[in-house]
Amino acid sequence: MAEAVGAGAGVAGGRAAATTGRAHVGLVAGSDEQLLAGAVPHVEDGLRAGDTVLLCCPSETAALITSAVGERASAVDNDARVCLLDTRVADAVAVSVDWVRRAASTGSGRLRVVGQMQFGDAPRNWREGLRYEAAKNRFFAGEPVSALCLFDQRVLSTDVLAGVAPTHPELLVDGRVVRSEEFEDPREYAMRLPLPREPIEDAGPEFLATDVPSLAVLRGQLRSVIHARVADRDQAEDLHFAASEVASNAFRHGARPVSASVWIDGDRLVCAITDSGRGFDDPFAGFRPAHGEDLALGGMGLWLARKLWDHVDVLPQPQGVTVRLSSRLV
């Protein structure tokens, strides 16, 4: 999950090359055999080196790998939250940071990961997963982490597979770790990812406010529309709380006029809040708290939004910025 510093060794005795040191390597496979040919040597070399070995995979893939590893499988951990299985990005990043720290205090001090990102079946989720893959190169650069990311071409879309080479500094191809010639700057890649438009946006917003006079007014307006249409009270509270934090950022760090739009149907809610300040263009804003782990320092608005909404997009405008929030309704 960190930027690579060098390719691994070549094939020895028919075994796939394993990554060494710090690496973020992608493997595109078309069969269980190809997945295992990459994953098993990576795991076994980690165990021999005294690394903390972690599978970040759904249960089916984890079982496949541990069965192939055999008697030493008991020394392998599994945490599917890291691969976005029933987890949002902000929480997955926090879990990953925790594993890096745990590994640092044991054995070699290095974390050895086999991951299989869960991209889902919708373009909005593909964008989220690929942006997360790009972000790993920033957040874990320099950390003692060696990660092999598995991409199963039998189930993934061509759009997702096209994102493997740009988001991984190295690739495992025919048993050899090679440099990815298509690897891109993580920020630039994430900024170019297409933003899928929700069908409900075509009908025009259910709620629209322009040049809102104050944060208190906008918070009240958002509460009214969200609580009127979101049946689950807990979800309504969470969505309103996070949207209010984003609105607070617009007034505190941006400039008036501040506007807001809400689209909603029985399945999904989309909320866009726009300010007219100087703006910023960090696609990974909110993946971690802005001022570190001391939450008393603030900087939690976008981080909380990413924890409570399914999708958060920071969209630079000619003047200012739009924060677009989207969630499926329970």
Domain ranges in the chain are 23-192, 199-328
Instruction: Please state, as a whole number, how many other Cβ atoms lie within 10 Å of the Cβ of residue 294.
Output: 9
Instruction: Read off the tokens for 173.
Output: 């191809």
Query: What region does 120 belong to: left with phi over 0, alpha with psi -120 to 50, or beta?
Result: left
Q: What is the pLDDT of residues 235-251, one digit of tens each?
A: 999 999 999 999 999 99
> Is 1.10.1200.10 the CATH number for 199-328?
no
Q: What is the pLDDT of residues 13-33, one digit of tens each?
A: 334 444 455 799 999 999 999
Percent of the chain at pLDDT > 70 equals: 91
The pLDDT value recorded for residue 299 is 57
The pLDDT value recorded for residue 3 is 33
1 — pLDDT class (breaks 50, 70, 90): very low
Give the contacts of 223 (CB within 8 A, at least 6 positions apart): 240, 244
Give dist(CA 287, CA 273) in Å, integer: 19
The pLDDT value recorded for residue 8 is 34
The pLDDT value recorded for residue 291 is 57
Q: What is the pLDDT of residues 36-53, one digit of tens each?
A: 999 999 999 999 999 999
Question: Per-residue pLDDT for 7 more than 70?
Answer: no
Question: Per-residue pLDDT for 300 more than 90?
Answer: no
The pLDDT value recorded for residue 123 is 94
CATH of 23-192, one of 2.30.30, 3.40.50, 3.30.1360, 3.30.70: 3.40.50
294 — pLDDT class (breaks 50, 70, 90): low
Question: Per-residue pLDDT for 113 more than 60?
Answer: yes
Give dist(CA 79, CA 115) in Å, integer: 9
The pLDDT value recorded for residue 9 is 32
Q: What is the pLDDT of residues 216-239, one digit of tens each?
A: 999 999 999 999 999 999 999 999
The SS3 call for residue 293 is coil
* φ, ψ of residue 156 in degrees (nearest 5): -90, 150
The pTM is what?
Answer: 0.88
Q: What's the rounded mean pLDDT across residues 294-303?
A: 66
Give the contacts of 38 (CB within 8 A, at least 6 positions apart): 16, 27, 29, 148, 150, 172
281 — pLDDT class (breaks 50, 70, 90): confident
Question: Per-residue pLDDT for 96 more than 80?
Answer: yes
Give dist(CA 219, CA 214) in Å, integer: 9
Q: What is the pLDDT of residues 52-63, one digit of tens each?
A: 999 999 999 999
Q: What is the pLDDT of residues 316-330, one digit of tens each?
A: 988 899 999 999 999
Give dist(CA 159, CA 314) in Å, integer: 21
β-partners of residue 303 are: none
The pLDDT value recorded for residue 297 is 45
What average pLDDT does the chain have? 90
Instruction: Please state, as a whole number, how many other Cβ atoms lie within 10 Å of the Cβ of residue 121.
Output: 8
